[in-house]
């Protein structure tokens, strides 16, 4: 199966979710998970595109997964009739391997000469029998304090100014300022969620993604909507890391634009997820090895 078909499948699922219940349906998907998606055999936490795909597929189920071979290796089995979820990894290419067909996507083309994209099916913990599935391990600690100490502090050290003023949360790129109003949130979790969104915006110039976005979307409204999608996904990655279940303005005004750009190119969602993961990694100060990376 070509990697771009995987992207189309997940994009179609995301579009259907948005068309049926709007942005809040996606928010519900990642807020309801007990933890970030994890492999129950290796303990590896999934990232990027695989994080997104598995979180979308998990629904109310535990966000824990394993391949058929992994379950077999532990003398377990998959419940009859269970459906797996496709995930993908880039692995180092052997000299004799030709890999998937080339795509028009610049990110995939860059990796294709050194890595090969492999598709795996993973099964949810509720579909696995005969082995003991460990309980999910959520983030332990004070979420607000951790968010401030890790993410906001890094931005401040890089010159960003943070103010509790105004009547709405926003990032002002020319001034490099994040403003968040006082006393406008129903809970500390909601405050954290909107702050994560604005902090993702603040990584745009720091990671140099504006030029890429303008190349993909010459239309201003579409490029603006795409950056909002990146911030939405970046906030989800960060909130899941700290086990934050907050909510904020539903950005309903962006829904039509999101659907337009998602339907216009099968790689739009892939690109948004990839950039969102890069933003979250920068804010969380996480380093990722170049080999054996996931599809985002």
Q: Per residue of the chain (296 residues), give pLDDT as tens.
A: 556 588 999 999 999 988 887 777 777 766 666 678 999 999 999 999 999 999 999 888 889 999 999 999 999 999 999 999 999 887 777 655 554 444 444 444 444 557 788 899 999 999 999 999 888 766 666 777 888 889 999 999 999 999 999 888 999 999 999 999 987 788 888 888 899 999 999 999 999 999 999 999 999 999 999 999 999 999 999 988 888 887 766 556 788 899 999 999 999 999 999 999 999 999 998 755 444 455 54
Q: Is 40 helix (H, G, I), strand (E, B) or coil?
A: coil
Q: Which domains does the chain have, with CATH numbers?
A: 32-129 (no CATH), 143-284 (1.10.10)
Q: Please list, in sequence order, all residues whose beta carbon lies within 8 angstroms of the beta carbon of residue 107, skipping any fewer than 6 positions away.
A: 270, 271, 274
Torsion, Cα of 282, 58, 53, 143 (10° steps): -10
CA distance 248 to 88: 31
Confidence (pTM): 0.86
**Residues 65 and 123 sit within 8 Å (Cβ to Cβ):** yes
The two structure tokens encoding residue 64: 């824990």
Enumerate the H helices of the chain as residue ranges. 3-21, 23-31, 48-58, 68-73, 106-112, 143-146, 153-157, 188-207, 210-216, 220-241, 255-264, 268-284
Backbone angles phi, psi at 165, to 5 degrees: -145, 175
């Amino acid at each position: 199966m070509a990697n771009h078909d995987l992207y189309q499948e997940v994009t179609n699922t995301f579009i259907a979710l948005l068309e049926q219940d709007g942005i809040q349906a996606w928010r519900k998907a990642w807020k309801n998970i007990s933890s970030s998606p994890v492999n129950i055999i290796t303990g590896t936490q999934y990232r990027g595109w695989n994080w997104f795909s598995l979180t979308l597929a998990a629904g109310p189920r535990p966000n824990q997964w394993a391949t058929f071979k992994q379950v077999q290796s532990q003398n377990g089995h998959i419940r009859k009739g269970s459906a797996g979820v496709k995930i993908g990894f880039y692995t180092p290419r052997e000299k004799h391997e030709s890999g998937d067909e080339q795509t028009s996507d610049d990110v995939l083309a860059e990796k294709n000469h050194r890595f090969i994209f492999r598709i795996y099916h993973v099964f949810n913990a509720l579909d696995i029998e005969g082995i003991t599935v460990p309980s999910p391990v959520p983030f332990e600690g004070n979420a607000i304090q951790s968010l401030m100490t890790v993410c906001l502090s890094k931005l401040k050290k890089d010159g960003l100014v943070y103010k509790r003023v105004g009547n709405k949360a926003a990032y002002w790129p020319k001034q490099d300022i994040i403003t968040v109003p006082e006393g406008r949130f129903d809970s500390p979790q909601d405050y954290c969620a909107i702050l994560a969104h604005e902090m993702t915006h603040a990584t745009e110039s720091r990671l140099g993604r504006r030029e890429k976005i303008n190349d993909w979307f010459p239309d201003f409204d579409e490029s603006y909507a795409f950056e909002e999608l990146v911030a939405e996904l970046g906030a989800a990655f960060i909130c899941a890391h700290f086990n934050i279940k907050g909510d904020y303005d539903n950005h309903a005004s962006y829904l039509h634009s999101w659907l337009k750009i998602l339907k216009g190119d099968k790689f739009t969602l892939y690109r948004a997820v990839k950039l969102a993961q890069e933003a979250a990694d920068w804010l969380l100060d996480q380093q990722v090895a170049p080999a054996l990376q996931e599809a985002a």
